[in-house]
Amino acid sequence: MSTLVRQPVRSPVGERATDLARGLAGGDEASLAAVYRRWGPLVHALAQRALGDSRDAEDITQQVFLAAWRGRAGYRPELGSLAGWLTGITRHRIADALNARTRRAALVEGAQAQYTALDHRAQADMDSTVVDRTLLAEELARLPVPQRTVLRLSFYEDLTHPQIAARTGWPLGTVKSHARRGIHSLRVRLEDGGEDR
C-alpha cells in the first residue's frame, strides 16, 4: 500500500503510543513508519467500511498518513490520543470522498438527463421535420406545374427568382407571380389542413 511499508524501516526505541506520538510530532520518519504499521489497518478498515471500495480505502489511508505527517506540528499528544487524532483525520477524509462521490454522481446524472432531453428533443424535431417535409411535398404536388416548378427550385435548390428565370427561360415577373400564387395556395391549404383534398 505505501512505500513506507515496503521499505525496511528501523523501529524507534520503544513503540509505546506516547513515544510514537512524540516522535511523529518531532518529525521522526521512523516514528511515522511505525505509526503507519500500527494504525494503518484501523484507518483502512474505517475507510473500507464507509466507502465500500478497497481502492478508495487505500487512497484514504495514504491521504490520512500524508495529512498526519504534514500536520504533525499541530498535533498535541497531551490533548488526545494519536489513534483518536488519526481517526478524526480519517473521518474528515471519508466525508470529503463521499461528498466528491455524490458530486460526481450528480454531475453524471445531470449530464445524462440533459443528453436524454436533447436526444428526445432532437428526435421530436426530426419527426416533426419529416412530417413537415412529407406534407409540403404532398401539397407541392397538388399545385399547377409552373407554381410547383418555381417553388421546388426555390425550396430545394435554394435558387433566387432571377436564377429561376434564367433556368426556366421565363420572364422574372412571371417567376415572381408563380412564386407568390404558389406560396399563397400552400399557405391556405396548410392552414386549412389540406381540407380540399
What is the per-residue pLDDT for 42?
A: 94
Name the nearest CA neighbour of 45 among 108, 111, 94, 96. 94
Name the nearest CA neighbour of 50 among 95, 86, 85. 95
The tens place of each residue's pLDDT in the chain, 197 residues long, gives: 444 444 433 444 447 888 888 888 888 899 899 999 999 999 999 999 999 988 999 999 999 999 999 988 888 777 888 889 999 999 999 999 988 888 888 888 877 777 776 666 766 666 667 667 777 788 888 889 999 899 889 888 889 999 999 999 999 999 999 999 988 988 888 777 655 44
> Which domains does the chain carry?
3-106 (1.10.1740.10), 143-191 (1.10.10.10)
pTM for this predicted structure: 0.48
What is the per-residue pLDDT for 68?
A: 92
How far is residue 143's CA from residue 123's CA, in Å, rounded to a whole number? 30
Contacts of 76 (CB under 8 A, 6+ apart): 25
